[in-house]
Structure 1
């Protein structure tokens, strides 16, 4: 019964209109009953593992309780860590869109001082007849004249093409120099020595964009740690409840 009651927490979360106590009370009961179930079941089985089904049940119980304790510790620690390391938290589902916006803004900043940039090199497929015909037609209206590169913008452009563009385009950051805060700060400090004063603001904004991108990556990692344990705890809890019912039915039958 204790295990079945612990399993009702998932039902309680999906039916918030239930007026059977508040969510925090259910969570406290879930935690304490889950912890108490270990010694209770050990005494119930006489500290013997029994047959195959009993052994499976015992191991499932140990793993479920251990993952729950891990999740409880993570839930207590990581929210504070997230607040300390991420100044402005972004809704998790919107993070990919925000990353795209940062990449677009960085491109606008660099093109405003360095002129238009060629897109990253990709394999070029032969044009189709429709594309060739469209290219041969005159444009409907003349394009705006691109901004001319400012004097001394070469190092800034090279830094963007070699480091920033790939850094902002990467779906996940790993060992890039800009993904290490101290290394990133040193690289931008060196860049500022190579460009004239009128380009310092552009370099500063690019550094801010890279810092925001790193903060988003930090938030993604912490989010995975904060919720990843549920992918172990929830399905194994369901399996534990199911096998507990089977065990009870077999006990009544035999």
Structure 2
């Protein structure tokens, strides 16, 4: 009987471990396997840099510099293949999660590989341009890692199981109620309500979208105006003010949803073009090296 309970306990433990593996993030993939590989690679580069004697000093044109440069260039080209890999669905050791984990940690290792490749000799030339673009690509990638690790939960919490279309429909429902409730108001009080009804929830530009601040929000302006007004029937005005408050809350949820989505997506508009610029600069760097070799 004891052995039966032990087998059941072991089976439950195995099931729980499988469940944890399925739900672990790409950063923690396989017990931080790629973080350990990347750290080991960086340590190997740093130690070998200190032990290898290059005359007169370390530089990108030495045999050691060429070795690190070849490794770095190969890594950069492999890292760019993630976009292609995303279109291939597998669940083996080279699943998308495994590939993404390797992409992140090996990408970070380029900070050491690329910098030590230069021998810390930087100047106003195409070689330094390639290094600078590489660092910018890595920094933009770090931003992407941070937002993808933190913002999806915030996006889910803000939505509260509502889709974007449902959020828009809620706003339209408040608009219909406002249109009816504003009929008894004076023309002076009706004007800001009409402006709120004509408001585009998506207006404001990229700055407002990313910051979540809408200083020219017509709904907020109408709420302030009617809260301070005394020209209409109090009961009718209070009903409209209440509806405006509800619409403001619905707008706030939609705008927060759009803001989080923008923060999740905008880094790709930096990361991808910088990657193409890096490949161009890297190509020029390699061609110039072989030309002067």
Task: Please indicate the TM-score interval, normalised by the length of the shorter structure.
Answer: 0.5 to 0.7
2:126 maps to which residue? Answer: 53
**Which position in structure 1 is the counterpart of 2:107?**
34
- In structure 2, relative to structure 1, the CA distance for the partners of 1:187 and 1:78 (3 Å cut) is farther
* CA distance in 2: counterparts of 1:241 and 1:197, whole angstroms: 66
| 2:269 maps to which of 228, 231, 235 | 231
In structure 2, relative to structure 1, the CA distance for the partners of 1:51 and 1:171 (3 Å cut) is: closer
1:112 aligns with 2:150: no
Equivalent pair of 1:7/1:238 in contact (CA under 8 Å): no
Q: Paired residue for 1:160? A: 193
1:43-93 residue CA offsets vs partner (Å, 9 max, x unmatched): 2221112671201101101111111112211222222333444434534xx
Q: Say whether the 8 Å CA contact 1:110–1:157 is kept in structure 2.
A: no
1:12 deviates by 0.9
Q: Distance in 1 between matches of 2:226 and 2:163?
A: 25
Mean CA deviation greater in 199-208 or 78-87: 199-208
- Per the alignment, residue 247 of structure 2 pairs with 209
Is it true that 1:23 corresponds to 2:96 in the alignment? yes
Q: Which residue of 2 aligns with 1:244?
A: 282
Tell me by how many angstroms 1:41 deviates: 1.7
Q: Can you give the 5+ residue segments of structure 1 that lack an aligned partner in the other structure? A: 116-148
1:30 Cα offset (Å): 0.6
Whole-angstrom CA distance in 2 between matches of 1:169 and 1:224: 15
Instruction: Give how far 1:208 is off.
Output: 2.2
1:90 corresponds in structure 2 to: 163
State whether residues 144 and 264 of structure 2, in contact with CA within 8 Å, keep that contact through their aligned partners in structure 1.
Answer: yes
Greater relative CO (CA pairs within 8 A, separation 6+):
1
Deviation at 1:198, TM superposition (A): 7.8
Q: Cα 1:184–1:5, aligned 2, differ >3 Å: closer, same or farther?
A: farther
Rounded Cα–Cα distance in structure 2 between residues aligned with 1:245 and 1:15: 28
Alignment partner of 1:8 is 2:8:
no
Deviations 1:2-54 (A, max 9, x none): 11111111121234469771111111111111111111122222111267120
Mapped contact 2:140–2:270 kept (Cα < 8 A): yes
Structure 2, unaligned runs of 5 or more: 1-73, 209-213
1:75 matches 2:148: yes
Give the SS at the match of 1:14. Answer: coil
The separation in 1 between residues aligned to 2:178 and 2:110, in whole angstroms, is 61
Q: For 2:151 and 2:226, locate their aligned partners in 1 and report how far apart those are by CA, in whole Å.
A: 30
* Displacement after TM superposition at 1:175 (Å): 0.9
The answer on whether the counterparts of 1:179 and 1:214 sit within 8 Å (CA) in structure 2 is no
Report the alpha carbon displacement of residue 196 of structure 1 after superposing the two structures with TM: 5.8
Give the paired residue count. Answer: 210
The counterpart of 1:221, out of the listed 253, 259, 267, is 259
Deviation at 1:201, TM superposition (A): 6.2
Are residues 201 and 45 of structure 1, via their aligned partners in 2, closer, same or farther at CA, if it must alter by over 3 Å? same
Counterpart in the other structure of 1:146: none
CA distance in 2: counterparts of 1:102 and 1:68, whole angstroms: 36
